[in-house]
Structure 1
Amino acid sequence: MITVAAISDTDLDVAAHLAAVAAPDAGATAVFVGTVRDNDPDAQGTVVELEYSAHPDADRFLREIVDGLDRPDVRIAVSHRVGTLGIGGVAIVSVVSSVHRAEAFEINRELVERVKAELPMWKKQVESDGSHSWVGLGRVMT
Structure 2
Amino acid sequence: MEPTDPLRLIAIRDTGLSVDEVLSAVGDAGAGGTALFVGTVRDLDEGRDVVSLEYSAHPTAERELRAVAAKVAADFPVRALAVVHRTGLLPVGGLAVVAAVSCAHRGEAFEACRRLVDDLKHQVPIWKRQVFTDGESEWVGC
CA shift at 1:98, angstroms?
Answer: 1.1
Is the contact between residue 30 and residue 79 of structure 2 (CA under 8 Å) also seen in structure 1?
A: no
Q: Name the structure with the higher strand share.
A: 2
Within the candidate set 37, 47, 52, 1:49 is matched to: 52
Across the aligned residues of Structure 1 and Structure 2, the Cα RMSD in angstroms comes to 1.1
Is the contact between residue 28 and residue 79 of structure 2 (CA under 8 Å) also seen in structure 1?
A: no
Distance 1:78 1:47 in 2: 25
The one-letter code sitting in structure 2 at the alignment partner of 1:49 is: S
Within the candidate set 91, 104, 108, 1:103 is matched to: 108
Task: Give the TM-score of the pair, scaled to structure 2.
Answer: 0.92
Tell me, yes or no, if structure 1 residue 14 matches structure 2 residue 19: yes
CA shift at 1:90, angstroms?
Answer: 0.3
SS at match of 1:74: strand
Distance 2:87 2:103 in 1: 28
Q: How does 1:89-128 map to 2 (within 5 A)?
A: 89-128=94-133
CA shift at 1:73, angstroms?
Answer: 4.8
Provide runs of 4+ in structure 1 moved above 4 Å.
none
Task: Give the TM-score of the pair, scaled to structure 1.
Answer: 0.92
Q: Where do 5+ consecutive residues of structure 1 fail to align?
A: 138-142
SS at match of 1:94: strand
Q: Where do 5+ consecutive residues of structure 2 fail to align?
A: 1-5
Distance 1:101 1:136 in 2: 31
Look up the match of 2:72: 69
CA shift at 1:136, angstroms?
Answer: 1.6
SS at match of 2:73: coil
Is the contact between residue 26 and residue 80 of structure 2 (CA under 8 Å) also seen in structure 1?
A: yes
Distance 1:69 1:122 in 2: 22
Within the candidate set 26, 29, 33, 2:31 is matched to: 26
Identity %: 50
Q: How many residue pairs end up in the alignment?
A: 135
